[in-house]
Amino acid sequence: MKNRIDICFEKLKSEGKKALITFITAGDPDLETTKKLVLKKLENGADIVELGVPFSDPIAEGPTIQKASLRSLNNGTNLDQIFALVSELRKETDAPLLLMMYINTAFRYGTERFFTNCKASGIDGVIIPDLPFEEREEVEGMSDKYGVYNINLVAPTSHDRVKTIASQSKGFLYCVSSVGVTGTRSSFSTDFDEFFSLINSSASCPACVGFGISNPEQAKKMSGYCDGVIVGSAIVNIVAEYGKESIDKVGEFVNSLKEAL
Amino acid sequence: MSSNSNKGRFGEFGGQYVPETVMNAVLELEAAYNKFKDDENFKRELTALYKEYAGRPSLLYFAEKMTNDLGGAKIFIKREDLNHTGSHKINNVLGQILLAKKMGKKRIIAETGAGQHGVATATVCALFGLECEVYMGAEDMRRQSLNVYRMNLLGAKVTGVSSGTSTLKDAINEAMRDWCTNIETTFYCIGSVMGPHPYPEMVRHFQKIIGEEIKSQLKESEGKLPDCVVACVGGGSNAMGAFYDFIDDKSVRLVGAEAAGRGVDTTEHAATITKGSLGIFHGMKSLFLQNEYGQIDPVYSISAGLDYPGIGPEHAYLNSIGRAEYVDITDEEAVCAFEYLSKTEGIIPAIESAHAVAAAIKIAPTMPTDSILVINLSGRGDKDVYSIARYRGVDLVEE
């Protein structure tokens, strides 16, 4: 079966459109709201949804997603419940669904058991911020076996490693916009022309940019460099403020991002 | 670019599990460490700093009263508490900061639990004229306020961390986030034999002088190897430093003392080897205290320096092959050992090191009288007097 991520990017390409990828922490404020939020985002133009698996010690996250992770864990959210949620969502959508998580989540669960359940529930890819390219063997045998993409990341500090990583990527390449952890930024200091010319000349799959993109203007500007944008903390901030009542507000925000692209 | 299947591994433990943003910095550090570790000029500079600044070699003291009192092995105490700044941490910090200087880094960050590594880092940054920021759990800042003030005196900025359990683990998380953000200018001086490669190997390299000195000092005074070396283990740097030179000397028993807090059968302990399971966290594959979903457990010990839910990968390896053994020491046992060493030998140990003393008190009487047991006394206990008093129900107030 063809990976839904590939199907999605082929369709976007044929339509001449950029991808809008949005993140949300699963179980924040609860799993029922997460389900509604995912469907609302897809209704309003999100092409791909990343579900964050809450972790006790999210070292790559800024305060916004750290707090979301903690709210979710305090509700007792666990990985089995998230797989059940994905199975539920799969009854209603064919959009690509990804898990964003730390390597210990898959490792402790059992890597094969983890990818078996990814495939069974309908997960198309995983993003693991603390698994660099050099350690990819930790999951790659199993992710390949079950047809789940392990999404590679490159950062402005990757320098000469960009080419190697970009040329061996599947699904899409996650381009980290700037140094630092996740969270909204008012401006970027990265030289994007240089960064993306290196990426676009070597990438074996579409490239999307994330970290710090928080409004339609930034989304528009950044999408000019690549095939799509990833928005996380700006959405999580809305959920943090409005909780269960955040669904329509998130829908409106996602719609405004899509309109800008 | 090759895969990492063997690099920086101790058996299956170790590795380089860090975010892409810091990966190049880790590789640069690895290259710099490999370039300088055997460089004659670097070694000469470091040896001079050890001697002139840290006060090495540290004494190996024959604890005659303790030996007579316990009956059994002759007990020697390796006095790392007499180093400048009061603990073994200075050995590693001098090595890393000298390396940072060679790499042209201007800003140093560190995490600290008990404050010993933070104080050592602040001290060496003052000496080298480098900017220094130390991350410390808010709970640890409360337990170790003297060390916080000491770091400030030395010109370092101490940043409290109140996420998670507000202890060492959370301070490391925050230091890693800082590193991700200020990667181009900043050198992360990790205080223990943990984190991504090359840290576990590099920190052990800068600490192995402890074991080398024990070996040569005993050879001189007793003409033989020790039969047992005991050290406390949090992340495990003083223990790795004391053990490393004896690993190939199979007759030498190596014992690490873990913090059992209120007991390993409660949820309030930090006994990673005894109760932990295999995981990947803080850059390394090792043993961690965690739940079935890989969420890291909150841990507890009276000692802020042993209050960590993981252990260095080389210790996990030595345990897995049976070369070193690890025992559990409760708060109560550690406090009793703290008081015992103070009264018996006139040496007030750090509460961390008191865990090693407690293990030695159990082991020494089981050994023959012509055998030798060495306690690595990793730090001095002035910083702990308040919390021990509090533990004993004494309220100390200074006017």
Straight-line distance from the first to the last Cα atom of chain B, in angstroms, rounded to the nearest whole number: 62
> What is the CB neighbour count within 10 angstroms for residue B218?
18
In this complex, do B3 and A159 lie within 8 Å of one another by their Cβ atoms?
no
pLDDT computed for residue B2 by the predictor: 46
Active-site annotation holder among B74, B78, B89, B169: B89
Residue keyed to tokens 């998230």: A82
pLDDT band at B14 (very low <50, low <70, confident <90, very high): very high
Residue type, B123: T
Q: Which residue has the higher pLDDT, B145 or A258?
A: A258
Residues from B contacting A (CB-CB < 8 Å) are 1-5, 15-25, 163-164, 169-170, 173, 176-177, 180-184, 277-283, 285, 288, 290, 292-296
- Which residues in chain A have their CB less than 8 angstroms from residue B182's CB? 179
pLDDT band at B119 (very low <50, low <70, confident <90, very high): very high
Q: Give the residue-averaged pLDDT of A118-130.
A: 98
Q: Give the residue-averaged pLDDT of B151-155.
A: 98
pLDDT computed for residue A105 by the predictor: 98
Instruction: Tell me if A178 sits within 8 A of A209, measured CB to CB.
Output: no
pLDDT computed for residue B3 by the predictor: 52
> What is the CB neighbour count within 10 angstroms for residue B392?
9
- Tell me: pLDDT of B398 over 80: no
- Tell me: pLDDT of B6 over 80: no
B7 is annotated as an active-site residue: no
- Which residues in chain B have their CB less than 8 angstroms from residue A131's CB? 17
**B13-17 and B107-112 beta bridge pairing:** unpaired
What are B53-65's pLDDT values in tens digits?
A: 999 999 999 999 9
Q: Chain B: nearest CA to A45, how far in angstroms?
A: 29
- Tell me: pLDDT of B7 over 90: no
| Distant-in-sequence contacts of B242-245, Cβ < 8 A, 24+ apart | B242/B78, B242/B210, B242/B211, B242/B214, B242/B374, B242/B376, B243/B211, B243/B318, B243/B324, B244/B204, B244/B207, B244/B208, B244/B211, B245/B208, B245/B211, B245/B212, B245/B214, B245/B215
Active-site annotation holder among B30, B58, B74, B111: B111
Cα B217 from Cα A176, distance rounded (Å): 53
3-class state of residue B206 by DSSP? helix
pLDDT band at B304 (very low <50, low <70, confident <90, very high): confident
- Which residues in chain B have their CB less than 8 angstroms from residue A157's CB? 20-25, 183-184
Please name the residue of chain A whose CA is at the shortest distance from the CA of residue B280: A104
- Tell me: pLDDT of A65 over 70: yes
- Tell me: pLDDT of A187 over 90: no
Non-local CB neighbours of B184 within 8 Å, separated by 6+ positions:
A157, A179
Please name the residue of chain A whose CA is at the shortest distance from the CA of residue B175: A59
Interface test with B, best of A117, A157, A164, A199 (most B CBs within 10 A): A157
> What is the CB neighbour count within 10 angstroms for residue B23?
25
Interface test with B, best of A77, A79, A130, A140 (most B CBs within 10 A): A130
Active-site annotation holder among B58, B378, B383, B387: B378
pLDDT computed for residue B4 by the predictor: 54
- The alpha helices in chain A, defined as continuous H runs, are 4-15, 31-43, 63-74, 79-90, 103-109, 111-121, 137-145, 161-167, 192-202, 216-223, 233-242, 247-260
B378 is annotated as an active-site residue: yes
Q: What is the pTM of this model?
A: 0.96
- Which residues in chain A have their CB less than 8 angstroms from residue B163's CB? 66, 70
- Tell me: pLDDT of B399 over 70: no
B387 is annotated as an active-site residue: no
What single-letter DSSP state applies at residue B54? I
In this complex, do B183 and A107 lie within 8 Å of one another by their Cβ atoms?
no
In this complex, do A66 and B4 lie within 8 Å of one another by their Cβ atoms?
no
Please name the residue of chain A whose CA is at the shortest distance from the CA of residue B286: A104
> What is the CB neighbour count within 10 angstroms for residue B204?
24
**Tokens in use for A149?**
């993409």
ipTM of the complex: 0.96
B286 membership: H or E segment, kind and range? strand B283-288
